[in-house]
Amino acid sequence: MDRMRKIKRQLSLTLRRGNSGDKISETISPQDTTHSHSDSETMSVRGGGSTGSLRGSVRAGGGGGSFSMHSLLQSYGSALRRPRSLGRSLSSYLNHTTRLEIVHEDVKMGSDGESDQASATSSEGVHSPVRVRLRNNPGRKISTEDINKRLSLPADIRLPDGYLEKFCLNSPLFDKPLSRRLRRVSLSEIGFGKLETYVKLDKLGEGTYATVYKGRSKLTDNLVALKEIRLEHEEGAPCTAIREVSLLKDLKHANIVTLHDIIHTQKSLTLVFEYLDKDLKQYLDDCGNCIHMHNVKLFLFQLLRGLNYCHCRKVLHRDLKPQNLLINDRGELKLADFGLARAKSIPTKTYSNEVVTLWYRPPDILLGCTDYSTQIDMWGVGCIFYEMSTGRPLFPGSTVEEELHFIFKLLGTPNESTWPGITSNEEFISYNYPRYRADCLQNHTPRLDNEGVELLSKLLQFEGRKRISAEEAMKCPYFHTLGHRVTTLPDTTSIFALQDIQLEKEPGNRTSSLSDSVNSISRQHSLLF
């Protein structure tokens, strides 16, 4: 066995040496004009070379597995050109990571440059800070507004003392024109994309893939939520995280949580979100499950506003629940956790039907429908509307059967006239529910006025196509008391920018919620997967 080990080590050394020595020949070797099929075959013979006998002996010694592995490695590298094993491309990858860490890719979601994708991703050339500094123009006076404008930072950002002075001296930021690449370099100089920029405070929660911390940005002194996604997991970056980031980057709206920054390290991916004090679930708990009815209206409107923005962009949330709606002390409500959301254009029947949390899942999905569209989210809006008005969940079923039972008990067991086609749905038949008569919604929601009940019933329609859309819902009479100006605001303006829109004080508040640090431990579960 000792000999085996020696041979193996020698082999790996040879391979490594071979690779580095091959660099030159590799770049000048001409392309074969054969097909990739025949390529790989010839190369796996040709690629053997001097290491062939060594590998043979390894194999003879019993290392069969490693032999096939080597030849695979070889052919990956050699299929087209001279042997260039995975080892090399990996090491060059590693070099690149460190390099890329210096020049962080993206930085601030609020950027303007999504249109010029080509330049946005062209980071092949890494500008050394030295070269960057040559471009600056020290004489220029810089204001905070300038910086905010450049970086699309939130308007209320507070930059630390001494920050502007530093930038007057060595920043290329304000020397036009500024390419995306340069901007990225300069953002990185400021501290975006670096873990050191953020101080971890309390842990807010932990999930399978991610841990969420409350944090503070040293750059702005603002609180942030740091969602740390572990990457040791064998499947690589979780697909929920990939989808969440790729979607959130394009969503900029006052009622959607802002992704400030992404930090890559070897072991983790950290998403930096804006921090909001609590989610709707905690808000309900804190005010004794009795939200002021005016605030219910404000929250519902903001929920619809955020959702309408998503739906216009063909993005479905698919996982609406109170835990995913974050609320700050101003009363601004923001949609969070887009892990299950996806960009979607025309309905196809390919989505898995296990997507929405059971309590907020519409009956058509519960009965196996996979052909859904934006209406999938509207049922959940109805359930949340009810929960805000009454303080308890509408259909708290723990199994699909029980969930449907709750629904039919209130809305009546569907028949051909209330839901065409339902009597031929096999799942529906197999459950064999008793024939309930529809209850009057009004009896269950004493605090809700007639217009509110009307909206609720339009949201709680069995069939997806009959459910009211977010856009229509915002126009319904229930919201007329908010005035018409709320419907004409720019996307990124909060409804509280209007003078006459104000949050009412919650009468049932048990604690002054802001200084309540005990509760914060369990907060922001919504950011977990």
Partner 1 sequence: MDSFVTPGSMEAISSVYLTSAGKRDGDTETDTSREMKTHFRVCRFIMETGVKLGMRSVPVATACVLYHRFFQCVSVSLYEPYLVAMSCIYLAGKVEEQHLRTRDIINVCHRYFHHSSDPLSCDSEFWDLRDSVVQCELLVLRQLNFHVSFQHPHKYLLHYLLSVKSLVNRHAWSRTPVAETSWALLRDCYHGTMCVRHAPQHIAIATLYLALHSYGVELPVGQREWWQVLCEDVTKEHIDAIISDLLHLYDMEAKWT
Stretch that binds partner 1, among 171-179, 196-204, 243-251, 364-372 (CB under 8 A): 243-251
Choosing from 4, 100, 223, 438, the residue that interacts with partner 1 (CB under 8 A) is 100
Of the candidate spans 170-178, 239-247, 276-284, 384-392, the one that interacts with partner 1 by CB under 8 A turns out to be 239-247
Total of chain residues touching partner 1, rule CB under 8 A = 67
Unique residue bearing structure tokens 């946005």 = 120
The residue from 19, 51, 54, 106 that contacts partner 1 (CB under 8 A) is 106
Check residue 358 for interaction with partner 1 (CB under 8 A): no
Q: Is 319 among the residues known to form the active site? A: yes
Q: Which is nearer to partner 1, 245 or 296 (CB)?
A: 245
Q: In angstroms, rounded to a whole number, what is the distance separating the alpha carbons of residues 286 and 513?
A: 7
Residue 144, interface with partner 1 (CB under 8 A)? Answer: no
Q: Check 277, 319, 337, 364 and give the catalytic one.
A: 319
Please report the DSSP string for 248-266 in residue order: HTT---TTB--EEEEEE-S
**Which of 16, 135, 203, 249 is close enough to bind partner 1 by CB under 8 A?**
249
Q: For the window 252-291, what string marks contact with partner 1 as x by the rule CB under 8 A?
A: ----------x-x----x----------------------
Of these, 89, 208, 423, 511, which contacts partner 1 (CB under 8 A)? 89
User: Residue 315 Cβ, how far from partner 1 at the closest point, in Å?
Assistant: 9
Residue 117 in the binding site for partner 1 (CB under 8 A): yes
Q: Is 57 near partner 1 (CB under 8 A)?
A: no
Report the alpha-carbon distance of residue 261 to residue 90 in Å, rounded: 27
If one asks whether residue 92 binds partner 1 (CB under 8 A), the answer comes out as yes
H/E run at residue 207: none
Is 43 within 8 Å of 78 (Cβ atoms)?
A: yes
| 160 touches 115 (CB < 8 A) | no
Question: In sequence order, which residues have a C-beta less than 8 Å from that of residue 171 and are 6 or more positions away?
Answer: 136, 142, 186, 189
Among 147, 151, 245, 303, binds partner 1 (CB under 8 A): 245
118 binds partner 1 (CB under 8 A): yes
Whether the CB-CB separation of 240 and 339 falls below 8 Å is answered with: yes
Q: Give me the torsion for CA of 494, 495, 500, 501, rounded to 10°.
A: -110
- Please state, as a whole number, how many other Cβ atoms lie within 10 Å of the Cβ of residue 178: 15
Q: Give least dist CB 224 to partner 1, A.
A: 18
Q: How far apart are CA 498 and CA 482, in angstroms?
A: 10
Contact 307, 381 (CB under 8 A): yes
Judge contact between 241 and 229, C-beta under 8 A: yes
Q: Which is nearer to partner 1, 119 or 493 (CB)?
A: 119
Out of 351, 395, 419, 462, the only residue in the binding site for partner 1 (CB under 8 A) is 351
What is 372-414 written as a DSSP string? Answer: --THHHHHHHHHHHHHHHHSS-S---SSHHHHHHHHHHHH---
Q: Of 285, 286, 288, 261, which is closest to residue 272 (Cα–Cα)?
A: 261
For residue 125, give every residue at least 6 positions away whose Cβ sits within 8 Å of its Cβ, in sequence order, or none. 181
- In single-letter form, the type of residue at position 441 comes to L
Q: Does 25 bind partner 1 (CB under 8 A)?
A: no
**Cβ proximity to partner 1, 105 vs 463, nearer residue:** 105
93 vs 502, which CB is nearer to partner 1?
93
Residue 55: closest CA among 41, 43, 71: 71
Residue 149 marked ligand-binding:
no
Among 82, 108, 334, 342, binds partner 1 (CB under 8 A): 342
For residues 479 and 452, what is the distance between their CA atoms, to the nearest angstrom? 9
Should residue 27 be labelled a site residue for partner 1 when binding is judged by CB under 8 A? yes
Choose among 252, 322, 250: nearest CA to 282: 322
Is residue 68 a contact point for partner 1 (CB under 8 A)? yes
128 vs 266 by CB, closer to partner 1 = 266
Tokens of 452: 């509110």
Enumerate binding residues for partner 1 (CB under 8 A): 26-27, 30-31, 33-36, 39-41, 44, 64-66, 68-73, 75-77, 79-80, 84, 86, 88-90, 92-93, 96-97, 100, 105-106, 117-118, 120-124, 231, 234-237, 239, 242-243, 245-247, 249, 262, 264, 269, 342-343, 345-346, 350-352
Catalytic residue numbers read 319
Residue positions forming the annotated binding site: 227
